[in-house]
């Protein structure tokens, strides 16, 4: 199990998340973890910026005007960078070839936004976009979350955009336990 998964599960347990957190809940968690939150009118594809100074000050700045799913993503991603002890990071929408730290923060965000135990038996019949719409989470993060579940279970099945979830891929199944 990766450090991103371990740290996300620890945060889920610490804050007793039993379902997908809302924006306000993510703000409270970030503040409780010592992160200063700000908004800035970034131009272009920049969605957020995380910086930790040498004296331990942590600052997460998110782009003004983000939709609820994008805002939740940036808050969870920033929490991931913070918990993974990243000193500086920037999130640029559509950037390919992300590094190890960025991928770890994305795994953290995907797990935090869809914690173990989320969903029901009927989730097998839902599609990625239906889960994304229901919980206000970007579809790529939902896909990442279920692919993460598959990797940890050793199945390596990649969940496609419009395919029903495999039976073992729903959040309540597999090895992810808070």
Q: Distance between CA atoms of 162 and 128, rounded to whole angstroms?
A: 6
The domain limits of the chain are 3-169
The pLDDT, as a whole number, for residue 82 is 96
The pLDDT, as a whole number, for residue 116 is 85
- Name the 3-class secondary structure at 48: strand
Query: Strand order in 88-92's β-sheet?
Result: 35-40, 58-63, 46-52, 88-92
pTM of the predicted model over 0.85: no
Query: Mind listing the pLDDT tens digit for each residue in 71-116?
Result: 999 999 999 999 999 988 888 887 755 788 899 999 999 999 999 8
The pLDDT, as a whole number, for residue 90 is 87
CA R_g for the chain? 15
The pLDDT, as a whole number, for residue 125 is 58
Q: Distance between CA atoms of 136 and 23, rounded to whole angstroms?
A: 10
The low-confidence residues of the chain, meaning pLDDT below 70, are: 96-97, 119-125, 154-178
């Amino acid at each position: 199990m990766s450090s991103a998964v371990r740290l996300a599960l620890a945060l889920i347990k610490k804050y007793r998340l039993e379902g997908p957190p809302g924006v306000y809940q993510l703000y409270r968690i970030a503040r409780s973890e010592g992160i200063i939150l700000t908004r800035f009118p970034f131009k272009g594809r920049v969605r957020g910026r995380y910086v930790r100074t040498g004296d331990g000050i942590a600052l997460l700045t998110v782009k003004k005007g983000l939709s609820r799913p994008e805002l939740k993503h940036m808050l969870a991603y920033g929490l991931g960078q913070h918990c993974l002890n990243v000193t500086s990071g920037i999130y640029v929408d559509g950037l390919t070839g992300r590094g190890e730290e960025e991928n770890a923060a994305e795994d953290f965000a995907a797990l935090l936004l869809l914690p173990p135990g989320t969903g029901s038996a009927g989730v097998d019949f839902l599609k990625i976009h239906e889960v994304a719409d229901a919980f206000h989470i970007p579809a790529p993060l939902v896909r990442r979350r279920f692919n993460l579940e598959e990797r940890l279970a050793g199945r390596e099945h990649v969940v496609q955009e419009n395919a029903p979830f495999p039976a073992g891929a729903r959040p309540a199944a597999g090895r992810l336990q808070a």
